[in-house]
Structure 1
């Protein structure tokens, strides 16, 4: 997803940021009304698709930190299977597993084998935090929820967002939108990921 190195965060700081990003996303999932799951969240994705995608990402944390390579289709974004009868419970179960994996004392000593290649575990945790932060905004916008993001999470995500290539990442993120350097951090972050918050 990202191409640059991570900032100098300790394991405790990374874990706290990740936990806060999970909690922020949990609040948005909990606020989804029963009739909103089929609403559009992103082009080609419903609210259910978006939440299933994040569940899939959380499920991947355990095998990746255990040294298994990423394998296409192991945790497909199969909305029905991943969300089950209670999407909030499905999300929380997957999130708890990822948090437990990241909390291991030796977590930062691992290298995870992503689709793009080997990645330091600290970078991976920060990327997951940024992804949760941006998608929390997507989910809130789609459901009429609270689109104001945690300021510290925005700052951490901006560190990675500013490393994205100028043309975005085809298949992952649209090219960034032009926005004033004096715009507030959340607006700059979302613009960097091809989203308009202004």
Structure 2
């Protein structure tokens, strides 16, 4: 039996761009930067990279029909000089799983709920965009970021995590005020509760 392909928007090309950006940021991190602070107060650079690699594995697991909650939030034990390799391996696994367009319409179990695959890919596109900024801010490489991805993330998170639904205990901190003329990544970071 064959099924008609979905005519809904395919989020994977934009997701690929977000992964490309994150991969460049991860690959640029030098070993001496790993203990530096990040805008994510609970993570230094090493832990943030471990989280980003974990997210790749979470989404691959969910795409295969598993439970993303089975993957730790941070993957430890990666050698200081192997973060780019760890990201590339996790990305390869994830892209192999999500190459099947049928997965976009299946329900997947994420750490914070069960969603259609299409929605999960869009949400994680925005997460990788924010974490690219986190890494870039921590290591001083802000000039290399794609503003279009930030515009999309700001729009997506405005719907997914509106300010009135935030608290200090939840996954998203309250928004931080920045000037109206701040660049889009500064506005995105502030919207996510970072202090840019």
TM-score bin, normalised by smaller chain = 0.7 to 0.9
2:34 paired residue among 28, 33, 37: 37
Following superposition, the deviation at residue 131 of structure 1 comes to 0.7
Are positions 1:79 and 2:79 aligned together? Answer: no
Confirm or deny: 8 A CA contact 2:53 2:75 kept in the other structure.
Answer: no
Are positions 1:20 and 2:17 aligned together? Answer: yes
In structure 2, runs of 5+ residues without a counterpart are: 1-6
- What is the aligned partner in structure 2 of residue 188 from structure 1? 187
In structure 1, runs of 5+ residues without a counterpart are: 1-7
- What is the aligned partner in structure 2 of residue 3 from structure 1? none
Q: 1:33 to 1:193 in 2, by over 3 A?
A: same
1:145-193 CA-to-partner distances (Å, cap 9, x unmatched) read: 2355212211221122212132536342211112455544333222210
Coordinate RMSD, CA, aligned: 2.3
> Is 56-65 or 146-155 further displaced after alignment?
146-155
In 1, the alpha carbon distance for the partners of 2:183 and 2:138 equals: 22
TM-score (norm 1): 0.82
Confirm or deny: 8 A CA contact 1:108 1:122 kept in the other structure.
Answer: yes
* Greater RCO, CA 8 A, separation 6+: 1
Task: Number of aligned residue pairs: give it.
Answer: 186
Structure 1 moving runs of 4+ over 6 Å: none
